[in-house]
Amino acid sequence: MGTRDLKTVTRETLAACGSRIDTSVAEGMEVMSPLTGTAVASLAPNGEADTRIAIENARTAFESWRMVPGPRRGELVRLFGEELRASKADLGRMVSIEAGKSPSEGEGEVQEMIDICDFAVGLSRQLYGLTIATERPGHRMMETWHPLGVVGIITAFNFPCAPWCWNAALALVCGDPVVWKPSEKTPLTALACQAVLDRALKRFGDDAPAHLSQVLVGGPEVGAALAENPKVALVSATGSTRMGRIVGPKVAERFGKCILELGGNNAGIVCPSADLDMTLRAVAFGAMGTAGQRCTTMRRLFVHEDVYEQILPALRKAYASVSVGDPLETDALVGPLIDAAAYESMTSALREASDLGGTVHGGERQKVGPKTAYYVKPALVEMPEHDGPVLRETFAPILYVMKYSDLEDALEKHNAVGGGLSSSIFTTDLREMEIFLSAKGSDCGIANVNIGTSGAEIGGAFGGEKETGGGRESGSDAWRAYMRRATNTINYSRDLPLAQGVVFDID
């Protein structure tokens, strides 16, 4: 597909979703596609004043939305899920154009949005608190959950829509308006999602206030304005640990609430009893899928010395034969890196690994499309030590492999990195599995057995510890972050007993 064609497809895809945004603004903010490394649109960015006004408008929307009954709010999200189903192929294509994912992965991301909408619809009738035994006679104690306020959502380029929806679907049923600052690399997918939500809002009727969901196009300065504004009750920020180190303190300074979903340095452990065929397939998807640009991408692999010589040749073969190409033109499994900077950080990490004695397989740039696009062969690096670039996240398809002989030792190294997002053990030994999942096992927010580190379902709480930021989104009880809790004690007696037996008689 040529450069001009991609521009046309972009425009047509946005229009199919219902967006009428001008994508050819003179001297606007250019949006690049990693498929070709060329611009597919030029948008008018939002400035500081736009951000302030959007937050004011969202705050006004909150005044009425919080009084709409939860199940009725759920009806809006149900309609949104219907519209998403109708636009799945278009939104999936938008993800492919902006983030370079294969159609299957692009549509998979939209499916995640549909799934969380379904989850949120059910949740809209289950926003319940506890009734708690009280020590005072004639009293009742309970907790009530109320809408929280405006939710500011900052998202990363590599998942241009699903993480927004994990937040937005829950926030909307919880009674909160949302203001979304997508990555400056993927604003078109955000505008397309907003257009799809607008269709649902139109069907929903008058009890949805204006400005319930807004998109702000721009760079870090827009994200910073959301983080600093005291009218934003919750900031949910997905991106690098570097970004979290800036956003987290800004929100904390004004005692705002924050969900941080930051970088990971995810690992797998292959034990002697592992099903090696299954392990190979799980590692291949976890490490090479989405061109290594998932927060949950497998970046380190500890292989027991007894099976090292069995699995490594198979892995080398998979790395040598994996298809790299334009995912909209071919059925390649590995698409492009997002940009030149990603390629540079990959080559510099590989150089560093090689200087430390690592043996690098793959990693070469591929001749696909124009010179402005960055397609690479995924790299498998056999490392003598758990050291150097292995200790940090490089957002590219590099898998560092290390041999181990003792599980305790492998676990210690597994946990000896900043990131704490996702982890896997491959074993059929009950003891090894339970140790990995125990208090002295993996220290990550996600710990899997016999599946890879990536590809989480929406039903579980998603997020990680340490430099991953500690936030949780999506399923389980993550909804509580979008509401405020009130503890209510009601006295229906004719006395006034004080808690803890305290006496304070005034006559």
Q: Which residues form the interface with ligand NAD (CB under 6 A)?
A: 154-159, 163, 181, 183-184, 219-220, 223-224, 227, 238-240, 243, 246-247, 261-264, 295, 393, 395, 421, 468
Which residue of the chain is nearest ligand NAD when measured via CB?
223
With respect to ligand NAD, which residue has the nearer C-beta, 74 or 389? 389
| Alpha helix (H) residue ranges in 380-424 | 407-415
Q: How far is the CB of 461 from ligand NAD (least distance, A)?
A: 11
The residue from 109, 261, 393, 465 that is catalytic is: 261
Q: Are 8 and 23 in contact (CB under 8 A)?
A: no
Please enumerate in sequence order all residues whose Cβ is within 8 A of that of 257, keeping only pairs 6 or more positions apart, or say none: 148, 233, 234, 235, 251, 481
With respect to ligand NAD, which residue has the nearer C-beta, 35 or 433? 35
E strand intervals along 367-471 = 375-376, 379-382, 398-404, 419-420, 422-426, 446-449, 461-462, 465-466
E strand intervals along 55-212 = 131-132, 139-147, 150-154, 178-181
Q: Are 272 and 304 in contact (CB under 8 A)?
A: yes
Binning the chain into helix, strand and coil, the percentages to the nearest 5 are: 40, 20, 35
With respect to ligand NAD, which residue has the nearer C-beta, 264 or 441? 264
With respect to ligand NAD, which residue has the nearer C-beta, 74 or 397? 397
Q: How far is the CB of 109 from ligand NAD (least distance, A)?
A: 11
Burial level of 400, CB count in 10 A (0-12/13-18/19+)? buried
- Sheet with 422-426: strands ordered across: 359-362, 379-382, 398-404, 298-304, 266-270, 422-426, 446-449
Q: How far is the CB of 281 from ligand NAD (least distance, A)?
A: 23
With respect to ligand NAD, which residue has the nearer C-beta, 261 or 326? 261
Q: How far is the CB of 181 from ligand NAD (least distance, A)?
A: 6
Q: How far is the CB of 142 from ligand NAD (least distance, A)?
A: 34
Q: How far is the CB of 334 from ligand NAD (least distance, A)?
A: 18
Rg of the chain on CA atoms, in Å: 25
Instruction: Write down the residue that tokens 């989104």 correspond to.
Output: 473
349 three-state secondary structure: helix
If we measure between CA atoms, which residue out of 420, 478, 427, 409 comes closest to residue 447? 420
Q: How far is the CB of 261 from ligand NAD (least distance, A)?
A: 3
With respect to ligand NAD, which residue has the nearer C-beta, 147 or 187? 187
Q: How far is the CB of 258 from ligand NAD (least distance, A)?
A: 12
Buried b (16+ CB within 10 A) or exposed e, 114-141: bbbbebbbebbeebebeeeebeeeebee
DSSP state of 390: G
Give the whole-angstrom CA distance, residue 266 versus residue 386: 13
With respect to ligand NAD, which residue has the nearer C-beta, 215 or 274? 215
Q: How far is the CB of 326 from ligand NAD (least distance, A)?
A: 21
Q: How far is the CB of 193 from ligand NAD (least distance, A)?
A: 15
Burial level of 376, CB count in 10 A (0-12/13-18/19+)? buried
DSSP string for 283-337:
HHHHHHGGGG-STT-EEEEEEEHHHHHHHHHHHHHHHHH--BS-TTTS--SB---
- Tokens representing 133 are 């035994």
With respect to ligand NAD, which residue has the nearer C-beta, 76 or 288? 288
434 assigned to active site:
no
- Tokens representing 348 are 């510099």
With respect to ligand NAD, which residue has the nearer C-beta, 274 or 446? 446
Give the whole-angstrom CA distance, residue 267 versus residue 299: 6
With respect to ligand NAD, which residue has the nearer C-beta, 169 or 295? 295
Give the whole-angstrom CA distance, residue 49 versus residue 53: 6
Q: Are 448 and 436 in contact (CB under 8 A)?
A: no
Active site (catalytic) residues:
261
